[in-house]
């Protein structure tokens, strides 16, 4: 198998040979005779256990509806099929499918790609992305951006007025700003068009759909928008409530609460993006977050997030109720400052600091019969910088406990391409045993995924999860099986008698 290593993270090609001498493939062996062909190698999946998916590259589809790197994707699909992976995950972008005009959908490229996946014999999990991605030069639909030029408050804004234009503000969920339609209306329009256009694949090739819920597809405010993703910062981020529509909502809430002055702005003493969050600021010990005003504001801020989750999950659940696909949404794992009382990074992202901080969000998932995708199953506390007071392991367990109490099934993802045996072992421990993880999506295909450092480790991880061993499948043996054969890697492909 020839797999590439290009300079960019999302490309694949045919340049580098990766040898996998220890790839164990289970053989469905049959007895041989002069009239029968030699046994063929197949990969059999266990009847129970974790279903493993691998995400396709973010830019698999161009905005001109052509498949990027189609030959490389085809080679990657074959490699995953041989390895015994259940399927792949495909991001479908709002800015590609409905680029030019509201209600004008273009699915031709995605249909071709889904057909390619179907012919490979793999399953497909689709993610409907209602956000953009600067790293891949993927934006919101052109017609949405044009509305944003005259109505900038359709986008989130921070305290300084800086706007995040790759996701719509939750403040427009129910406002008829988009040619007489609300944001929920236009989201539903794309969902219904997708459902109709891909109906022949539903339940057979397409087995699951994740609905985008916010920045990067996750249910959160983009509180960290000013930070470099490749650089660890001490800041917890800023509140994203300063677009006029969110502020109008806050003003009404404060008036109903009997404190109209509390609705004039967000917290005046909240930290900036890169400011240390627990020294002389809103989040310090006995700071403003613990006052009646702090409780008022943070409750409102998180309620907007919960409300958005319920609306978009209800819309998706209603649209797909007559299909056999499983619906899911993604929660972030914001673990910086987890060991502090105020939990500033989580709070700035919209997760209220109460005893059961994630309970209301989990209940929204349960109400709409949706699975919850949790990333970060590859992270270890010991690898986190001490100065961030971080604990991804404790936060992950807290959310999973809440899901268990409320009957919400959890799907898993890694946060980074692991590249180390320790990270893969951490993923494995999070999946096996009594943890109840049915689906794990490894993110994502590209040069780094197929690199000599990562791909052999991923192959070993798949073998261990699915317990693929070099053994005879006794159910397929003819007679007493004495004439059956297998191919043994590393033995010059010599046929060995059973």
Global confidence as pTM: 0.84
* Per-residue DSSP letter, 139: -
**Residues 7-42 as b or e (16 or more Cβ within 10 Å = b):** eebbbbbeeeebeeeebbbbbbbbbbeeeeeebeee
Long-range contacts of 349-355 (CB under 8 A, 24+ apart): 349/220, 349/221, 349/223, 349/224, 349/237, 350/219, 350/220, 350/221, 350/223, 350/301, 350/302, 350/304, 350/305, 351/220, 351/302, 351/305, 352/298, 352/299, 352/301, 352/302, 353/289, 353/298
Phi, psi of 55 (to 5 degrees): -75, 135
Tokens 């503000």 -> residue: 169
Half-sphere exposure of 217 (CA within 13 A, CB side): 22
The first and second tokens of residue 480, run together, are 């007493």
Check: CB of residue 4 under 8 Å from CB of residue 72: yes
Bridge partners of 93, per DSSP, are 129
Check: CB of residue 17 under 8 Å from CB of residue 52: no
Q: From CA 220, how far away is CA 11, in angstroms rounded?
A: 29
Count how many residues are written for the chain.
498
Query: Quick one: which H or E segment has residue 125?
Result: strand 123-129
Q: How remote is the C-alpha of 387 from its chain's centroid? A: 27
- Coil, helix or strand at residue 90: strand
Strands 123-129 and 495-497: unpaired
Q: From CA 158, how far away is CA 221, in angstroms rounded?
A: 10
The first and second tokens of residue 395, run together, are 């936060």
Check: CB of residue 221 under 8 Å from CB of residue 215: yes
Check: CB of residue 159 under 8 Å from CB of residue 266: yes
How many angstroms separate the Cα of 418 from the Cα of each of 269, 375, 376, 458? 38, 12, 10, 9
Phi/psi zone of residue 57: left (φ > 0), alpha (ψ -120 to 50 degrees), beta? beta
- Closest to 120 in 3D by CA, of 177, 54, 182, 61: 54
The first and second tokens of residue 32, run together, are 């041989």
- Coil, helix or strand at residue 187: helix
Per-residue pLDDT of the chain (498 residues; tens, 9 = 90+): 444 434 344 444 434 334 444 444 333 333 333 333 333 323 233 345 799 999 999 999 998 999 999 999 999 999 999 999 999 999 999 999 999 999 999 999 999 999 999 999 999 999 999 999 988 999 999 999 999 999 999 999 999 999 999 999 999 999 999 999 999 999 999 999 999 999 999 999 999 999 999 999 999 999 987 555 444 567 899 999 999 999 999 999 999 999 999 999 999 999 999 889 988 789 998 899 999 999 999 999 999 999 999 999 999 999 999 999 999 999 999 999 999 999 999 999 999 888 788 999 999 999 999 999 999 999 999 999 988 999 999 999 999 999 999 999 999 999 988 778 999 999 999 998 667 799 999 999 998 999 999 999 999 999 998 763 333 233 333 433 333 333 333 333 332 222
């Amino acid at each position: 198998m020839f797999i590439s290593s290009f300079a960019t993270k999302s490309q694949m090609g045919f340049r580098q040979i990766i040898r996998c001498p220890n790839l164990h493939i289970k053989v469905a062996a049959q007895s041989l005779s002069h009239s029968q062909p030699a046994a063929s190698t197949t990969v059999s999946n266990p009847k129970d256990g974790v279903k493993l998916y691998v995400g396709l590259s973010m830019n698999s589809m161009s905005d001109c509806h052509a498949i990027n790197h189609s030959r490389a994707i085809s080679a990657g699909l074959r490699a995953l099929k041989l390895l015994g992976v259940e399927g792949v995950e495909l991001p479908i972008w709002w800015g590609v499918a409905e680029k030019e005009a509201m209600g004008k959908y273009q699915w031709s490229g995605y249909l071709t790609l889904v057909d390619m996946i179907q012919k490979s014999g793999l399953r497909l999990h689709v993610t409907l992305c209602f956000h953009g991605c600067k790293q891949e030069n993927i934006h919101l639909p052109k017609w949405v951006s044009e509305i944003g030029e005259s109505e900038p408050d359709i986008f989130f804004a921070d305290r300084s007025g800086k706007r995040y234009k790759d996701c719509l503000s939750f403040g427009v969920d129910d406002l008829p700003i988009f040619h007489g339609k609300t944001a929920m209306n236009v989201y539903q329009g794309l969902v219904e068009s997708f459902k109709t256009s891909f109906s022949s694949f539903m339940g057979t090739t397409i087995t699951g759909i994740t609905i985008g819920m916010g920045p990067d597809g996750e249910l959160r405010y983009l509180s960290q928008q000013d930070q470099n993703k490749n650089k660890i910062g001490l800041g917890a981020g800023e509140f994203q409530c300063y677009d006029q529509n969110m502020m109008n909502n806050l003003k009404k809430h404060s008036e109903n609460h009997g404190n109209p002055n509390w609705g004039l702005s967000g917290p005046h003493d909240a930290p900036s993006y890169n400011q240390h969050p627990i020294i002389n600021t809103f989040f310090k010990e006995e700071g403003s977050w613990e006052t009646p005003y702090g409780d008022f504001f943070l409750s409102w801020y998180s309620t907007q997030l919960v409300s958005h989750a319920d609306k978009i999950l209800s819309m998706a659940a209603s649209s797909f109720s007559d299909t056999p696909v499983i619906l899911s949404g993604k929660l972030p794992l914001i673990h910086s400052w987890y060991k502090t009382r105020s939990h500033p990074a989580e709070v700035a992202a919209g997760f209220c600091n109460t005893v059961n901080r994630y309970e209301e969000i989990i209940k929204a998932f349960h109400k709409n019969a949706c699975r919850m995708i949790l990333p970060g199953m590859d992270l270890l506390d010991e690898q986190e910088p001490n100065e961030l007071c971080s604990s991804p392991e404790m936060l992950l367990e807290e959310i999973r406990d809440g899901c268990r109490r409320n009957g919400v099934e959890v799907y898993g993802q890694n946060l980074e391409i692991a590249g180390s045996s320790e990270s893969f072992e951490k993923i494995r421990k999070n999946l096996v045993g009594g943890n109840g993880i049915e689906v794990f999506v490894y993110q994502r295909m590209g040069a780094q995924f197929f690199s000599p450092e990562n791909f052999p480790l991923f192959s070993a991880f798949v073998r261990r999860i699915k317990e693929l061993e070099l053994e005879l499948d006794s159910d397929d043996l003819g007679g007493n099986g004495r004439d059956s054969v297998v191919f043994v890697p590393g033995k010059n492909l010599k046929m060995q008698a059973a």
